[in-house]
Structure 1
C-alpha cells in the first residue's frame, strides 16, 4: 500500500498503536488545538478515520512531534495537502536558496540565513518522521532526505560566508552569483553524511580544506586565519540553538591532527600529512568521504589524489587488526556488554550498526585497491559489491543489508521520541513499549525477539570476519613455549599433533618467542604470533612431514624483515594457513619470494583466486586498474614490478594447488609477460618522446622468441625478444628538443625497455631479458630495422636461426610494422628447403648441445635424450619442412606452442602413434617442469626434495609415488629419442 500512497492525506492503513490513554489524550488535545487554527486539519478530524488514528498514535509516541506541531500548526496543514516528496523538495530548495540576494539585490543577514535553515530543518524532520512512521518512506529514503538537507545547509552557509567575505574585501570571488565555484574551498562530508546515510538526529562530520593558490585571496599567507574564522562562523550558523532550534551539530575533528591544526587545512599540508602520517582509521573514514559544499570539483580532485592512501596498491595487513582494535576501543570506552534488548546500544553494542559498517569497511580496505567497484560509499551498495566480487556470499549480503536497515529504523525511532542523538534503547518496559509500537510490533516481546535475532546475526557475521579458527582448548593439551626448558605436556601435545621431533620443534618455536628474529622482535608481533600459534601448529601438524614444513617456515621467518603484517594476515584469514603450509612443505622458492616480498600475499585474499582462471582478459583488467594510479614513469615501473611479482606468485599458487595445469600456467605466465612488455614499451616511448620527440614515420614492433613466443614460460623464465623498427627514409633525426639520429633513437628505446624490465629496483625486476636471438646475436645492434632483419634472414641466417624463427610471435608495437614483420617471418618459414640438409642440421645441433650441455640426471627434462629439446626440435623441423604452411591463416601462424606446431605440421612426417607419444611426453614434461621451476628452480634432486613437492609431482601425473613417475619418464624419453632419430635420419634415395 505504501508504494501507492504519496501523501499523508491519502493514508489507507494505520501501522501504529497509541502509546497509552494518557499520551493519546495529550495527542488529541494538540490536534484539536491545531484544528482551531487550520481548517484543513479540522476537516480531517471531523471525518475521522485512518489518518486521524495515525496522527493521534504518532503524536502519542513522539513528544517531539507533538511539541513541534503544537508550536507550528501550519506545518500539519501543509503536510495534508501535497505529496511528501514534493514538500520535502520545496523545503530543501528553500534552504539552499537561503543565502541568495533578495529581489531588491540586498543580501540576507546571517541571522536570516540561520532562521531559514532552522525552519527547513524542523519542517523536514517532522515531515520525515510522519512519513517514516506511516510507512510512506523507508529508512533508505529517510536517510537520503536527511543527507540532502545537510548538504544544502552546509552549502548555503559556505556560500553566504564567501559572499560576505567578498563584499568585505577579504577575498575576490570569480562569480559572486556562484560563490563556491573555483574558490578552492573544499568541504567534505564524512561518515554517514558522506555515505548519504544520516540518522534522524545525527550530527554531521565535516573536513574542510583550502587551496591558497586558488586566486581569490589577496594574500595566500592569510588563508589559514581567514578560513579558520569562517569555519567557526559556519559551526555557529549550523549548531547554535536559537528560538528556532538548531540545524545540525557539527564536528570538524576528523581533520588531520585536529589537536594542532586550524579548522581549515591547506590541501598541500593535508596531502603531506596523509602520505606520511595518515592512520588506518583515517583510511577507513575516507572510504565514505564526499564533496558536499564549497568547490565541488576541487573536492573531487582532492579525493582522487587520496585514492593511493585509502586504497593501497598492496595492503599493510596489520591494518586489519588495527581497525579491529578501534572497535575494541569503542567497546571499552562506551561499554559493550552482552546482547540484550533493554538498554542495548543499537549503534555501538554487540551486533549493532557499527559492526556492519566495520565488516564492510575492513574488506573495502583489503581489496578496494584492486577492485574499484568495492569502493562504494553506501553500506548497502558496498555489501552488494562484496557479494558480486565473491568476497562474501550473496545470502550474507542480504542478511546484513536487512539487518542494517532494521537497526537504522530502530535508531530513528529512538531519536524521534525526543530528537536526542541517542542510540540506546530504553531500560524500562514502558519506554521500550514506545519503541516497539513505533516499529509496528504488537508488544515488546515480539519486538525483542526480532531485535535479538538481528543482533545475533550481525554478531555472528562480524565475529567470523575477525575470528581465528577454533583455538586449541585446554582439553587438547598445553602449548607453552616460555622459559628455558621444555614443558612435558607441550611436547606430548606436539607429538599428538603430528610432529616427529617435538623437543626440536619446541626449541625452534621458543626462538621465535624470544624475539631473536627481526620478524618477532616487537612485542606486538610476538603477541600476534602467540594468538596464532594453535592454528599454525595444527595446520603444520596435518602436513605429511610436519617437522620439515615447520623448519622451512622457521627459515622463512628468519629472512622476514618484519612479522606483524604476516601474523595479522594469517590471524584474520585462517583459510590461508593451509596454503602457507603447502608452500612451506612443497615450494621453498615460493617461500623465498614471500620472505622477500610479503605483499605478494595480497592477491591471495581474493576469495575467487582459485576459481578465477588467470586469462589474458583477467590479467589485463587487473593490470589496467593497478596502473591507473601511476603518477610518473618511475611509479609506472615500480607498479609493473609489483604487479608482475604478485601475479607470477598467484599463478604459481594456482599451479601448486592444482587449480591449473602446467600448460595453463605456461600460457598465463606468457600472457602476463606480453601485457607487462606492452605497458613497459608504452611508458618508454612516452619518456623518449618527452626528451627527444618523435622520429618521423617511426614504428616499432617487439618479437617474442623462444618460450615467450610459444606460450611456455615458467615461473623463472627470462624473456627472449627482438626489437624491430622503421622510419621515413628521408628523416635524419627526431623532432624533439634534444634530437637523435635513427640509430641512437631506436637503440635508446631498446636500452630503456631492457632497463624497464630487468634493471633491479627496490621492487625487484620484472624479467631477465635476452636479446641474443636478434640478427648477428650479441655482435649486432640491439635494435634492428625491418629491412635489415629481412635481408639477414633471407641471406645470412643459419638453419638454427630459422628454427628459432618458427617460434617467433609479435608481442606489441605499431600494428602496421607488426603485420609487416609477420609477413617477413612467414615468407622465410615458407621457403622450400632440402629435407636431408635440414634434417642433418637439426641432428647436428642436437648432438652439439648434448656434447656441450649433457643432462645432470634423468630429471633434467629439458636436456635428457628424448627430453623437451628433442620434442621442440621435432616441432621446429616439421615447421620448416611443412609444405602446407603457405595456406595457413595469419591467426593459425600465431599458434606457435610446441604441441600445436606438432599437430599442425608434423603429421606428414611422423606416424599418428609417434605423434601421440610425443604429445603425451610433452604434456608430462611440461607439467613436471613447471612445478619444479616453481618450487625449487631449475635443479631437482629427489633425495633432497621437500616431501610436499614429491607428493605434488606424483599427483600431477596421476602416479602413486615418485618411482613410478621416474619409470614413466624413462619410457617416454626412450620413445621420443627413437622418434627424433628416425625423423632426422637421412632418407634413402627415392624415398
Structure 2
C-alpha cells in the first residue's frame, strides 16, 4: 500500500491520523471537490476548516482523494463540513466514542418519533463518515472499524427500543417495572446476530436481529396479547431504525433469522423458541447462534435464554454431521450465485470462493464440532475463535495466522466496496475503472498491485477451506474413482469397480462388492437414511483404501461390515470418516484387531470423538488436566441424570483414547496402567461429589461428616487395564455426638452412609444410554459381604487390628485413597501405613502367603499360556512377592499403593532361577504388564497367541521387542518358569497357612 513520504505525514491537525494515502482517479476532479468543500465551509463560517483546506498538505490531499473516489463520503462531507471542523476540537477516535455515547444515553422520554429519527440518523451519518476516514487513512485497524460500527448499531437499536417501550407504556399496552430505565425487566430482548453479535459489523451492513420475550415475566398489560403487543413494538423499532427518510436511514434491519420466519411473529416467546430449536432447529441455525448476543432490552432475560439454548448450539459430542451441513450450505451458495472460481473483476469477496464466508465457515464448523466439549472455542468473534483453535491444536498456528490476515484484508476490501456508494455489496466491479477505484481507496498504487494481493489472499483461504472440508476441489480421490466407488453401492458386478477392488489388493473382490452393495441397500440401521448413505458414499474411496492396507483386506471389510451391523446410526460416523481421512488407518486397526474398542465404538460411536481432539491425542491423561476438563464439561450439566451421562461420556472417551493410543503404539505399555487409573481417580471423585450432593437434597448431611473412597487392587496400585472393574471401600467419620443427618428426611448415621454407598454403586453401574461407568466390587471391605457397605474409620482400625486375615492385609498393600475429603484421605492413608507397620510374626505371614498361592494353584488352574494372572510364575506370584515384601519390611511403607513393578524394584529380594542365576522380577513384571494391557484390548477368552487377531498379535510382538508372534509364548513360558522358581525359593509352601478361600485370595488381587 502507498505510504506518505513527507516529513509531515504524522503532523496532521485534522485529528484523523494514519499513514495510508489513497490517490484519486482524477487529480483535477479531486482539486475541484476540495474547492467545493472550501465553499461549503465558508457558507457555514467554518474558518478553521477553510484555513486548513487552503493550507494544503498530505491530509488535504487524502481528503481530495476520498472526495473523488467515494460518492457517498463526498456527499456527507459537502453536506456537513461541520463534522470535519469538529475534529479540530477532538480527534476522530474521541469524536466517534463521544457521539456513540450521546446516542446510547439519549433522553427519549419527551421526544417525538420524527425528531428522534432525525437525530439518530444524523449521528449515524457523522460517525460513519469518521469511521470511514479512519479506516481509509489507516488510522484504525479493520478490527477497530468493525467494533465501532457494531457499537454504533447497538446504541441505535437500544435507543430506538427504549423509545418504543416508553411509548407503549404511556399508551397502557405494557407496564414497565421502571419507566426511568425502560429496558430493565421489560421481558423483551433483542439478539444481535451475525457480524453485529460478534462486534464485527461491516460498513454498509444490514443488522440481523431476533426479538424474543419471556412469557413468565411479560410486562404486557394483557398477557394473552403479549405476542401482538410486543410484535407491534418490534415493527415500530424496525421502522425507526430502518426506514429511509430525508435524513437517510440508520441501519437496514433483517429479522429473517428468527425461527420459521414465514410463520412466526416478529416477537417470539422464549417458550415457543425453545420448542422450535429443540424440535426443528437446523445446523445453520446452530451456526448462527454462535454469534448471538443480547444488544438491547431485558439483558438478564436475554442471557438466561442464551444459556438455556446452550445444549442446542453446543452438543455434548463432537458433531461431524455439522461440518457436512455447513459445507452443503456453502455449496448451495456457490451454485446459486455461480461462484466457480477465484477471480478479481466481479468476484464476491464475501460469498465467492476463497472469500470471507469461507473463513467464517472454516471457524464455525470446528466450533460446532468441538465447542460442546471445549468451551474456550465458543467465541463470537472470528479472530478470537481462530486464536483458540490454534491454542487447542485444532489448527496450526500458521493456519490461524494466515486466515486472520486473509480475513482482515478481505474485510477491508469489503468496506472499500461499500464506501463507494453506501451499497450493501460485496462484489468487486468488473470494469477497469471500477477496480482502479477500489484499489486506490484501499491504498494501493493501482489495480495490478491490488489484484496480486487479492488473489494471494483468496487462494490461501481456498487452500485452507478445501483442506478442512475435503469438498472435492482438490481431493486425492478423483471424480472417476469416486464414481467407481459409488457404483459399488448400487451394483456388485460393475467391471470397473471390481477391477478397482482387485487393484487395491482385495483377494475376493466379488465378495467385497457384495458386502458394499448391502450398505447401499440400507439393510443396517446405520445406512438406512439417505443422508447416511450419501455421507458413506463420499468417504467410501478413502475407506476402501484404508482397509486395503490391512494384513487381511477382505477380513477387514468383513469386520467392518459386522461393525456397521451393530452401529445404531450412521450419519455422524460417516461424516466423521469423510471429514478426517487420517483416522481411517487407526479405525481399520481397531476394527480388525481390538474387538473391545470396536464394540465400544459400535455401542457409543461418539467415543471416537476423543481421538479427533488434537489436545487430547498428544498427551497421556494426568489428573490435574482431566479434572479441569471434566469440571468444564460438567458445568453445563442439566441436573443429576445429565451429570451421570456426562461422566460416562467423559470416562468412555478417555478410556477409549488410552486404549486406541496403546494399540497404535503411541502410548508405551508402561504408561497405560497409570493413565487408566488417573481416569478412574478423577471420574470416581466427581461421581462421589455428585452422589453426595444429590443425596443431601433429600436427607441433608451428617454434621462433621468426612468421606474417603479407598481404591483397592489394580486401581489401588495404578495398574488398571482397559477391561478392569474397580475395587472400592468407602470409609467415613463424623462428629462424635451426631446420631442422624440434618435433612428433611433424616437418617441414622450408619444407615446414611450405607444408603449413600448404595447410591454411589447405582450411579456407577446403572445402565444408561451412554453405558455404565465402571463395574464395581465392594467385597474387600471389612467382613466382606457380611459387613456394612460403608465403614467408619474407627471400626476399620479395630477390624484390621483384631480380625483381619493375612490376605486382607495383603490387599491393603494395594490400596490408595482416591476420592473424598482431601484431609480425610490423608488420614486414611496414614492409618493404612500404621496398620501395615504393626509388628506381625514374619514366619506366619510368609507361610500364609505361600499357602494361599499353593491353594490357588490347586483350585484355580490357568486356562492357557496367556492366562498370565493364574499361570505358575505369573502375575499373582509377582504381586504376592511385592505384598509380602511390604508386610515384612523388605519394602518401605511409602510404597503402599505403588505399582507392583515399583515395589519389586525397591525390594531386597534375592531371587534366583533353577540355575542359580538372578531373576529380574521387575523386568518380568514389565513383560507381563505389556501382555496384559494389550490383551485386554482384544477378544475375551483368548488364551493362546495363535488365537489373537493378527493386528493385536503384531502389536504384542512389538511391545515385547520380538520379531515374530511365534516368539511370544516361549518368552512367557521361560519368564514364568524363572519367576516360579524364585517364588518357591523365597516362599516355600507348608500347607498350614491362612485358610482364606481361593476366591477371596483372587479377589484380593483386584481387576
How far did residue 901 of structure 1 move?
1.9
The 1-side partners of 2:965 and 2:671 are apart by 23
Out of 549, 556, 559, the position equivalent to 1:549 is 556
Match of 1:791 in 2: 798
Q: Indicate if the aligned counterparts of 2:489 and 2:519 stay in contact, CA closer than 8 A.
A: no
Q: Secondary structure at the match of 2:426?
A: coil
The 2-side partners of 1:767 and 1:618 are apart by 21
The 2-side partners of 1:424 and 1:914 are apart by 84
The 1-side partners of 2:310 and 2:942 are apart by 44
Out of 39, 42, 62, the position equivalent to 1:36 is 42
Q: In 2 relative to 1, CA 863–7 (structure 1 residues): closer, same or farther, beyond 3 Å?
A: farther
Query: Which stretch shifts more, 679-688 or 721-730?
Result: 721-730
TM-score by length of 2: 0.94
Q: Indicate if the aligned counterparts of 2:526 and 2:570 stay in contact, CA closer than 8 A.
A: yes
Query: Which stretch shifts more, 449-458 or 657-666?
Result: 657-666
Q: Indicate if the aligned counterparts of 1:726 and 1:785 stay in contact, CA closer than 8 A.
A: yes
Query: Which stretch shifts more, 728-737 or 867-876?
Result: 728-737
The 1-side partners of 2:828 and 2:613 are apart by 40
In the alignment, structure 1 residue 967 sits paired with structure 2 residue 970: yes
Match of 1:907 in 2: 908
The 1-side partners of 2:236 and 2:484 are apart by 63
In the alignment, structure 1 residue 286 sits paired with structure 2 residue 286: no
The 2-side partners of 1:346 and 1:382 are apart by 21
How far did residue 806 of structure 1 move?
0.7
Deviation string, structure 1 residues 84-140 (Cα, Å, up to 9, x no partner): 111101210221133445xxxxx1112222111101110011111122111112211
In the alignment, structure 1 residue 261 sits paired with structure 2 residue 264: yes
In the alignment, structure 1 residue 500 sits paired with structure 2 residue 518: no
Out of 619, 622, 635, the position equivalent to 1:612 is 619
How far did residue 163 of structure 1 move?
1.8
Q: Secondary structure at the match of 1:784?
A: strand
In the alignment, structure 1 residue 512 sits paired with structure 2 residue 513: no
Query: Which stretch shifts more, 970-979 or 209-218?
Result: 209-218
How far did residue 434 of structure 1 move?
0.5
Q: Secondary structure at the match of 1:608?
A: helix
Matches within 5 A, 1:311-330: 311-330=314-333
Match of 2:444 in 1: 441
Q: In 2 relative to 1, CA 733–11 (structure 1 residues): closer, same or farther, beyond 3 Å?
A: closer
Q: Indicate if the aligned counterparts of 1:7 and 1:84 stay in contact, CA closer than 8 A.
A: no
CA-based RMSD of the aligned residues comes to 2.2
Instruction: Point out where structure 1 has 5 or more consecutive residues left out of the alignment.
Output: 102-106
Match of 2:102 in 1: 94
Q: In 2 relative to 1, CA 555–355 (structure 1 residues): closer, same or farther, beyond 3 Å?
A: same
Matches within 5 A, 1:156-175: 156-175=159-178
Match of 1:748 in 2: 755
Out of 374, 377, 380, the position equivalent to 1:374 is 377
Q: Secondary structure at the match of 1:197?
A: coil
Match of 1:27 in 2: 33
Q: Indicate if the aligned counterparts of 1:190 and 1:205 stay in contact, CA closer than 8 A.
A: yes
Match of 2:845 in 1: 838
How far did residue 535 of structure 1 move?
0.9
Query: Which stretch shifts more, 346-355 or 667-676?
Result: 667-676
Matches within 5 A, 1:670-685: 670-685=677-692
The 2-side partners of 1:575 and 1:831 are apart by 57
Q: In 2 relative to 1, CA 5–731 (structure 1 residues): closer, same or farther, beyond 3 Å?
A: farther
Deviation string, structure 1 residues 437-490 (Cα, Å, up to 9, x no partner): 111112211111111111111111101111165115648995442666523443
Q: In 2 relative to 1, CA 99–325 (structure 1 residues): closer, same or farther, beyond 3 Å?
A: farther
Query: Which stretch shifts more, 565-574 or 810-819?
Result: 810-819
How far did residue 275 of structure 1 move?
2.2
Q: Indicate if the aligned counterparts of 2:12 and 2:59 stay in contact, CA closer than 8 A.
A: no
Q: Indicate if the aligned counterparts of 2:710 and 2:728 stay in contact, CA closer than 8 A.
A: yes
Q: In 2 relative to 1, CA 884–516 (structure 1 residues): closer, same or farther, beyond 3 Å?
A: closer
Deviation string, structure 1 residues 1-46 (Cα, Å, up to 9, x no partner): 9996786357586611111256425523422322322212220122
Match of 1:18 in 2: 24
In the alignment, structure 1 residue 275 sits paired with structure 2 residue 283: no
Deviation string, structure 1 residues 897-946 (Cα, Å, up to 9, x no partner): 11122233x21555799886111111111111111102324534433322
Q: Indicate if the aligned counterparts of 2:919 and 2:979 stay in contact, CA closer than 8 A.
A: no
The 1-side partners of 2:688 and 2:19 are apart by 68
Q: Secondary structure at the match of 2:905?
A: helix
Q: Indicate if the aligned counterparts of 1:917 and 1:972 stay in contact, CA closer than 8 A.
A: no
Q: Indicate if the aligned counterparts of 1:26 and 1:60 stay in contact, CA closer than 8 A.
A: no
Query: Which stretch shifts more, 144-153 or 21-30?
Result: 21-30
Q: Secondary structure at the match of 1:810?
A: strand
How far did residue 893 of structure 1 move?
4.5
Q: In 2 relative to 1, CA 28–592 (structure 1 residues): closer, same or farther, beyond 3 Å?
A: same
The 1-side partners of 2:766 and 2:709 are apart by 19
Q: In 2 relative to 1, CA 433–484 (structure 1 residues): closer, same or farther, beyond 3 Å?
A: closer
Match of 1:591 in 2: 598
How far did residue 170 of structure 1 move?
2.6
Q: Indicate if the aligned counterparts of 1:344 and 1:424 stay in contact, CA closer than 8 A.
A: yes
TM-score by length of 1: 0.95
Q: In 2 relative to 1, CA 36–823 (structure 1 residues): closer, same or farther, beyond 3 Å?
A: closer
Deviation string, structure 1 residues 188-216 (Cα, Å, up to 9, x no partner): 11100011111000100111111133263
In the alignment, structure 1 residue 621 sits paired with structure 2 residue 628: yes
The 1-side partners of 2:145 and 2:492 are apart by 64
The 1-side partners of 2:759 and 2:673 are apart by 27
How far did residue 729 of structure 1 move?
3.5
Q: Secondary structure at the match of 1:433?
A: helix
Q: Secondary structure at the match of 2:369?
A: helix
Q: Indicate if the aligned counterparts of 2:172 and 2:221 stay in contact, CA closer than 8 A.
A: no
Match of 1:48 in 2: 56
Match of 2:868 in 1: 861
How far did residue 307 of structure 1 move?
1.8
In the alignment, structure 1 residue 222 sits paired with structure 2 residue 225: yes
Q: Indicate if the aligned counterparts of 2:183 and 2:298 stay in contact, CA closer than 8 A.
A: yes
Q: In 2 relative to 1, CA 13–764 (structure 1 residues): closer, same or farther, beyond 3 Å?
A: closer
Match of 1:104 in 2: none
Q: In 2 relative to 1, CA 385–13 (structure 1 residues): closer, same or farther, beyond 3 Å?
A: closer
In the alignment, structure 1 residue 62 sits paired with structure 2 residue 65: no
Match of 1:898 in 2: 900
Match of 2:417 in 1: 414
The 1-side partners of 2:126 and 2:255 are apart by 26
